[in-house]
């Protein structure tokens, strides 16, 4: 008779000595940590996010005419599709003077998009748009806008991008301008400033 084939056992573990084994020395044996009893009268430390002093009663007091609006790449593209003049439509939305700002990252993103977006690039290089230089590494526009808005609360962010909107909503006191029904609308703007409600 031939030898019977022995199948290999899978997922077998090597036997290990238990930490409580008598053969181990005292210093190697596991000792249960002694738990301290918590004092109910003791003060508990809690981290509370710090908000800037300009957010008085959760309204941003630095916002006011003339409005400074940070423009995103897709906002310019969607404005062209909806056949809207950027500066004039902003003024119609807020009933005040608006100064659109464009960062180097947004301009670089428009340049990367190529010939298809040459009209958007020409609008972005309009003298009515103020250029904001970027000092950080990388050219990702969304991170740039979020960082700038977190540091300085005087801006309104104009974007159509859902992910960027979601990130900006987490920052208190920053209104968002977006396009709907072939016109500009504003979100999270205090009532005191006369912005239209739709």
Tally of structural domains, the chain: 1
Residue 152 belongs to some domain of the structure:
yes
Tell me the per-residue pLDDT of 84-142, one tens digit each, with 9 for 90 and over: 999 999 999 998 999 999 999 999 999 999 899 999 999 999 999 999 999 888 778 99
Does residue 58 lie within any of the structural domains? no
Task: Provide the residue range defining the domain that includes 116.
Answer: 67-190
Say whether pTM exceeds 0.75.
no
Which residue reads 């190529």 in tokens? Answer: 114
Q: Helices 141-151 and 104-112 meet at what angle, rounded to 10?
A: 170
List the CATH number of the domain containing 149.
3.40.50.1010
**Strands 176-180 and 155-158, sheet pairing:** parallel
Q: Is 101 among the domain residues? A: yes
Mind listing the pLDDT tens digit of every residue in the chain (198 residues)? 567 777 766 666 677 777 777 777 766 666 666 677 777 777 777 777 777 777 765 677 788 889 999 999 999 999 999 999 999 999 999 989 999 999 999 999 999 998 999 999 999 999 999 999 998 887 789 999 999 999 888 999 999 999 999 999 998 889 999 999 999 999 887 664 544 555
Residue 57 maps to a domain: no
Q: How does DSSP classify residue 64?
A: -
- Residue 17 maps to a domain: no
């Amino acid at each position: 008779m031939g030898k019977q084939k022995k199948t290999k056992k899978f997922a077998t573990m090597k036997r290990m000595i238990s930490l409580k084994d008598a053969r181990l020395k005292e210093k190697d044996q596991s000792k249960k940590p002694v738990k301290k009893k918590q004092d109910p009268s003791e003060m508990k430390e809690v981290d509370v996010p710090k908000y800037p002093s300009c957010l008085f009663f959760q309204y941003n007091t630095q916002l006011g005419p003339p409005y400074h609006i940070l423009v995103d790449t897709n906002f310019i593209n969607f404005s062209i599709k909806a056949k809207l003049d950027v500066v004039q439509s902003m003024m119609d939305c807020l009933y005040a003077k608006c100064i659109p700002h464009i960062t180097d990252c947004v301009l670089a993103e428009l340049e990367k998009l190529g010939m298809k977006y040459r009209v958007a690039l020409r609008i972005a290089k309009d003298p009515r748009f103020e250029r904001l230089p970027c000092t950080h590494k990388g050219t990702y526009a969304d991170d740039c806008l979020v960082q700038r808005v977190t540091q300085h609360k005087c801006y309104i962010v104009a974007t159509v991008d859902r992910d960027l909107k979601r990130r900006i909503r987490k920052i208190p006191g920053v209104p968002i301008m977006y396009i709907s029904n072939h016109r500009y609308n504003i979100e999270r703007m205090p009532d005191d400033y006369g912005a239209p409600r739709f």
